[in-house]
Amino acid sequence: MNSGTQKLKASSTDEEKKKFLKKFQNIKDLPSLPVIVAKVNQMLDNPYTTIDSLSAVIEKDQAIVFKMLRLVNSAFFGFREKISNTNEAAIILGLDAIRNIVISLSTFNTLNRISSKNPCDIFKIKDFWNHSVGVAVLSKYLADKNRIGDPEKCFVAGLLHDMGKLILAYYFTDDFKKILDLAKKEDLLFREAEEKAMPGGHHEIGYYISQKWDIPTHLANTIYSHHSMQIGSSTYEDSLIVNTADGIINSYYVDFLNNNTRPGTIAYRYFDKKARERMQPWIESSSKWFPEVEQLINEARKLFLEK
Ligand SMILES: [Fe+2]
Ligand SMILES: [Fe+2]
């Protein structure tokens, strides 16, 4: 192939991709995130923000405060002493961690609103959250134990990493169905099938929606690279952790979209090569340590999914 043809092909692919992503930027009835997210983001960009002023803003949303306190007092946060209000949480965990919790809970609620307003019987929202909460808890655990990446950021990125699939399922159900059918027919993972069927993937959709929602850039970038990470990028380690957690969760439980795994057996096709190499000892020994983290996952699932 001469370079002229290559160029032509590359530009038409770019054009297709642009068109594809535009679809997701222009979803008409996409809800916005609750105002508290923008407010907290704004406050954290201001170096004069104090713990008291941040707490005062969060305290206005009692539903978030209630869930946040349950979350920080749960076993997977690992604090022995009970945290009883937003101020204490901010002192012990730091402002950034509070921002991450507010983003997690608000995005969780907003994605659930999308699911209840746009019925789609082929997408099982409960299975989606079981997967996502599992990846969130395991990402935080692996980041903590290995001192790779930022544990709190990994938690949020783990929770939101596949939100592009949810957006695709509810707003572009035909495309979503096409991918599922192809995956089934050719025994492909969802990610492999979407690569064949569409000019872009759920990681890009998740990234674009994150940007639209003003989710911090680091998180949006981690979502973007959760299947393929760039050495040297600022989100390399967080993406590597989320990818490893995703592969292990898909191996230990039934993959929520493909249904084609043998639960309990590590399926190497889920992992990025770099993650597989760096995390190999952990992946290989997962049967030894996974039961410990499974308890934390179950607790977190209850917390997120029980009303
Ligand atoms: Fe994914
Ligand atoms: Fe996933």
Which domains are seen in the chain, by residue range?
34-117 (no CATH), 123-307 (1.10.3210.10)
d(CA 53, ligand 2 centre) in Å? 36
**Confidence (pTM):** 0.92
Ligand nearest 134 Cα, by number? 2
Whole-number pLDDT of residue 255: 75
Closest by Cα among 256, 42, 262 to 161:
256
Beta carbons of 106 and 61 less than 8 angstroms apart: no
Beta carbons of 276 and 268 less than 8 angstroms apart: yes
Whole-number pLDDT of residue 18: 86
Distances (CA, A) of 211 to 33, 42, 95, 163, 179: 11, 15, 21, 13, 25
d(CA 161, CA 219): 9
d(CA 283, CA 258): 21
| Per-residue pLDDT tens digits of the chain, which is 307 residues long | 334 434 444 455 788 888 888 888 888 889 999 999 999 999 999 999 999 999 999 999 999 999 999 999 998 887 788 999 999 999 998 999 999 999 999 999 999 999 999 888 899 999 999 999 999 999 999 999 999 999 999 999 999 999 999 999 999 999 999 999 999 999 999 999 999 999 999 999 999 999 999 999 999 999 999 999 999 999 999 999 999 999 999 999 877 787 656 677 888 999 999 999 999 999 999 999 999 999 999 999 999 998 7
Ligand nearest 272 Cα, by number? 1
Distances (CA, A) of 69 to 78, 134, 249: 13, 20, 26
Closest by Cα among 101, 43, 18 to 300:
101
d(CA 106, ligand 1 centre) in Å? 20
d(CA 7, CA 107): 40
d(CA 161, ligand 1 centre) in Å? 6
The label of the residue with tokens 């980041």 reads: 143
Which protein residues have a CB closer than 5 Å to ligand 1 (ion)?
162
d(CA 69, ligand 1 centre) in Å? 29
Whole-number pLDDT of residue 259: 61
Per the structure block, which two tokens stand in for 269?
A: 């096709």
